[in-house]
Structure 1
């Protein structure tokens, strides 16, 4: 692969992510870490990206998160797989929280436990559950975010004050080192508040989001019980992220 071609691929990868680690880029392009370090240094001098410790960030961080409509057709098989893993973790008669995002939306179709009470701040999750299940559902109030189709803000946070949640499942835009990240402070604040009311805390992320960071860290991976991902996670990724929490990549027996 020519250097010019490789460096353009790095810039293309950064268009989909705020931040990527050197290790992640090297694995994606199948080259050495040292090669990527040199490329990042050169691209930084050309003012085509921002060089950060351990990785690179696109030069201009977009103010708007990608919409649900833009994300809806990405990694569909992986998201459905994650739903099967989630379902194996949940017992009948549980109270669960499901957050916003297309990963959780596709995962919902795989849930088949009985007598669930599902709480959510996601409008698309609520609509799916209303149309396809007979579960009890609680939709939080709050300020509606049209980009992610979820409710955020103080009212949304207070909706969970008096709830006792057995399992909480929150999505993320990226997991980098011990950081669980998202694009907007308000989105992460709701998920953090829900985790505070939950007995078992779970983050769901397909394996492409590992080694990736967005703007705001809303929780530490070491503070949650499970990272639920798909079977494409590499052995290196599994070993690395296992130092922070337990990783579920297969259905529990």
Structure 2
């Protein structure tokens, strides 16, 4: 069997099974484990699957970015759980950045700290904060995206000049291997600027976002302090992503 044909069969098997061990693939294709390991390495380098210990997982490609209103009612319980984890690592009097996204919107009600100063480029987060908290709030300017209901671009990024952030929280459309992804460069750029001004950098992603890839990688997991998720992440997935950064999926004592 030619390598191209063999690798296509591996991807087809993963499409049906999500995860397969190396022995399962080698038995199915009647080739050696060593050959399958080599194939998995090559396919992972091409971002066609996710290589994990002892096997491979399917990589889901995000075909089109959904609007905020289309995503607002998805995985609400998981996003609220993430908010509880965020609350456990935020301190009173912190200056924090809250990025755009429905994860942040559902997480915010779980944040109970006092005297926060919150910087955000999210119109949804801003509206929640001014109507439900007494925190100091700074909404960036910039061009407005009707899809994600956030502000972005040069003017938005200049809002961070001379600001020292204690903790910055950015959401993502998907994480795979060491990649934190989003739909386009301009959405990722403002997250990078916020991270540049922060002492601690966190990415938040509910368990459905793992092993998924959007078009643009805006940050590396290995360059953040923690990846915050919910309590539904499988042990296999958790162990794999722990090789890139620390994963928080429970409230910290």
| TM-score where L is the length of structure 1 | 0.79
Aligned to 1:53: 48
TM alignment of 1:61-210, pairs within 5 A: 61-62=63-64, 65-210=65-210
Point out where structure 1 has 5 or more consecutive residues left out of the alignment.
1-19, 39-50
Question: Secondary structure of 2:203's partner?
Answer: strand
For residue 34 of structure 1, report the CA deviation from its aligned partner.
3.9
For residue 243 of structure 1, report the CA deviation from its aligned partner.
0.7
Q: Deviations over 1:124-153 (max 9, x none)?
A: 000000000000000000000010000000
Conserved 8 A contact 1:167-1:198: yes
| TM-score where L is the length of structure 2 | 0.79
Conserved 8 A contact 1:21-1:212: no
* Cα distance between partner residues in 2 of 1:88 and 1:24: 38
Conserved 8 A contact 2:60-2:211: no
Q: Deviations over 1:147-185 (max 9, x none)?
A: 000000011111112110000000000001000000021
Greater gyration radius: 2
Aligned to 2:252: 252
* Cα distance between partner residues in 1 of 2:215 and 2:226: 22
Point out where structure 2 has 5 or more consecutive residues left out of the alignment.
1-10, 30-45, 50-57
**Paired residue for 2:17, among 26, 41, 47?**
26
